[in-house]
Amino acid sequence: MSDPFRPLKNAFARYTTGVTVVSCLDPSGRALGITVNSFTSVSLEPALVSWCLDDRTSVAGAFLNADHYAVSVLAADQETQSQRFATPDNHAFQEGEGERFATGAPLLEGRIAGFDCRLAERFRVGDHTMLIGEIVHFDSREAAPLVYVGRGYSQGPVITD
What residues between 34 and 53 interact with ligand FMN by CB under 6 A? 34-38, 51-53
Beta carbons of 51 and 102 less than 8 angstroms apart: no
Size of residue set near ligand FMN by CB under 6 A: 17
d(CA 65, CA 46): 23
Taking CB under 6 A as the criterion, the residue among 42, 57, 84, 130 binding ligand FMN is 57
Residue 46, preceding bond cis, omega within 30 degrees?
A: yes
98 alpha-carbon distance from chain centroid = 14
Q: How near is the Cβ of 82 to ligand FMN at its closest, in Å?
A: 6
The verdict on 78 binding ligand FMN (CB under 6 A) reads no
The verdict on 88 binding ligand FMN (CB under 6 A) reads yes
Write out the E strands in the chain.
17-18, 20-25, 31-36, 40-43, 48-54, 68-73, 99-100, 106-107, 113-125, 128-140, 146-149, 152-155
144 vs 160, which CB is nearer to ligand FMN? 144
Taking CB under 6 A as the criterion, the residue among 58, 65, 140, 155 binding ligand FMN is 58
Q: Which residues bind ligand FMN (CB under 6 A)?
A: 19, 34-38, 51-54, 57-58, 82, 86, 88-89, 148
